Chains A and B, each alone.
Chain A
Amino acid sequence: MDTKKTSLYQLHQDSKAKFVEFAGYQMPIQYSEGIVEEHRFTRNHSGIFDVSHMGQLFIYGQEDLVDDLERIFPLDLKNLKLNHSKYSFLMSDNAGIYDDLIITKIKDGFLIILNAACKENDFKILKVLLNDKYKMVLDEERSLIAIQGPKSVQILKSVIEGVENLNFMSGNWFTLDDQNIYVTRSGYTGEDGFEVSLTNEFADGFTRRLIDKGAKLIGLGARDTLRLEAGLCLYGHELSKDKTPVEANLKWAISKDRISKGNFIGSDIITKQLNNGVSKIRVGIKPEGRIIAREKTKIYNETDLEIGEITSGTFGPSVNGPVAMGYVENEFSKKNTKIFLEVRGKKHPATICSLPFYKKSYVKGVI
């Protein structure tokens, strides 16, 4: 199968990107300055991320659609205001996670942002669950550009006036050169920022304008170190069909009101796990010294009993040290619990720590 290219492919090439195949797309892993510098630039200034490989699923409908989607997602969608977004999951009957996603209420329905590797499967699942009742468009005609970091608001507002008025996890339609573009204040780096959905033919020109204003292209490598420092899950690592949102320590994303009423896919298991606890749970892990514990590293307790596994681990440039997340048996999940990580045959000390490793700076609105 040929790998797909996003509409920024030429710009990535012009910017000397190193490419990697990701979810069937040729994507930039890094540019000439390297992951650490790209990471720092995003934290201190403003980074542009091509996330056009992610799925933009538009589902059109009114009250019926809200009811039907509430049977799928553990969200209070009836009270989700126009242009507001929620983080959620598409789950199996036993609450295994097919995908994690952002769902936004738009005028004539919902916009759901899906992971690139999952989007085709999600589309099929949702089509069946919704009995083909609604118009669903997994839009390949639109690109998605994220701009993240403290200077992003200044840069983006100089191109699209009004975006500065958006609050975190809300969006709106804007007009740029007679084009309808949808902007949300969101992202996945732990920084203030935006995600901009616009038609493919305008993506290149729009991104070059952001670069002219001082933002820089950032690759998937830094996107991974940024999200890990921010304690955010990555599908295929922290999240999978074998993990539930409760095990993933994401119960904050499940509406309390919906739990008491149940009646969504996976609600039986979710309720049971919330009441009885889970055997394994996602935690933050801080290795001592500089040792990096990568995915699949085994975790041991102080009496040398295997208690879990790392799901993501790298060097965090802003933390200036190694950071990791993983799953451990519940009884060892308390903050400051001493654990050991087996790296290249040797056991290295580490501690369970709270997330995020790096403090967020989102712009919160007064509601």
Chain B
Amino acid sequence: MSEVKYSKEHEWIKLEGDIATIGITKHATEMLGDIVFTELPEKGSNVDKDGTAGVVESTKAASDVYTPVSGEVVDLNQSIVDDPSKINQDPENSAWFFKLKIKDKSEMDTLMNKDEYDKFAKESSA
């Protein structure tokens, strides 16, 4: 059973075994507008919980992408680098950003579930 959790920085994270797939939420894409540039972390690098792990840029501005958990980057989604508009089209599925081999599953406990995130997103954009 995989579980999807959400961060206050508007990332989603799906854990399967010790591999976490991370992307940005639909709500985040709606706030950003059209995404026209993506930068991902290097494969094989280690990223720390709440640290920057990429950049997305809309026509208006650049925003950092944070990782909600620590781990080693084991896979990257090159298709969103080649065509960043895919992130606007399917943010919470095919347009994932990177996969981590995570170190500490308990880091997932501090994150929000879907209902909590939806409430948070609604309040933060109000």
Contact = CB atoms under 8 A, between A and B. Distances in A.
Interface of A: 29-30, 34-37, 39, 221, 224-225, 290-292, 294, 314-315, 317, 322, 344
B62 interface: yes
Contact of A221 (B33, B39, B57, B85): B33
Contacts of B61: 294
A137 to B, nearest CB: 35
A41 to B, nearest CB: 13
Contacts of A290: 36-37, 81, 84
Contacts of B119: none
Nearest to B32: A34
Contact of A292 (B33, B37, B88): B37
Contacts of A315: 36-37, 57, 59
Contacts of B59: 35-36, 39, 221, 224-225, 314-315, 317
A315 B36 CA distance: 7
B75 interface: no
Contacts of B28: none
A90 B53 CA distance: 46
Interface residues of B, number: 16
Contacts of B33: 30, 34-35, 221
Contact of A344 (B55, B58, B60, B84): B55
A190 B104 CA distance: 54
Contact of B62 (A34, A36, A294): A294
Interface in B19-72: 33-34, 36-37, 39, 55, 57-62
Contacts of B34: 34-37
Nearest to A18: B33
Interface of B: 33-34, 36-37, 39, 55, 57-62, 81, 84-85, 88
Contacts of B58: 35
A292 B60 CA distance: 11
Contacts of B88: 34
Contacts of A221: 33, 59-60
A225 B58 CA distance: 12
A292 B61 CA distance: 9
A221 B36 CA distance: 14
Nearest to B85: A36
A36 B36 CA distance: 9
Nearest to A33: B34
Which of B34, B58, B59, B84 neighbours the largest number of chain A CB atoms within 10 Å of its CB? B59
29 contacts: A29-B60, A30-B33, A34-B33, A34-B34, A34-B88, A35-B33, A35-B34, A35-B58, A35-B59, A36-B36, A36-B59, A36-B85, A37-B34, A221-B59, A221-B60, A224-B59, A225-B59, A290-B36, A290-B84, A291-B37, A292-B36, A292-B37, A292-B57, A292-B62, A314-B59, A315-B36, A315-B59, A317-B59, A344-B55
B102 to A, nearest CB: 26
B92 to A, nearest CB: 18
Contacts of B85: 36
Contacts of A291: 37
A224 B33 CA distance: 15
A294 B36 CA distance: 13
Contacts of B84: 290
Nearest to A343: B62
Given A290-B36, A315-B57, 15 more contacts: A34-B33, A35-B34, A35-B59, A36-B34, A36-B36, A36-B59, A39-B59, A221-B33, A221-B60, A292-B57, A294-B62, A314-B59, A315-B36, A315-B37, A317-B59
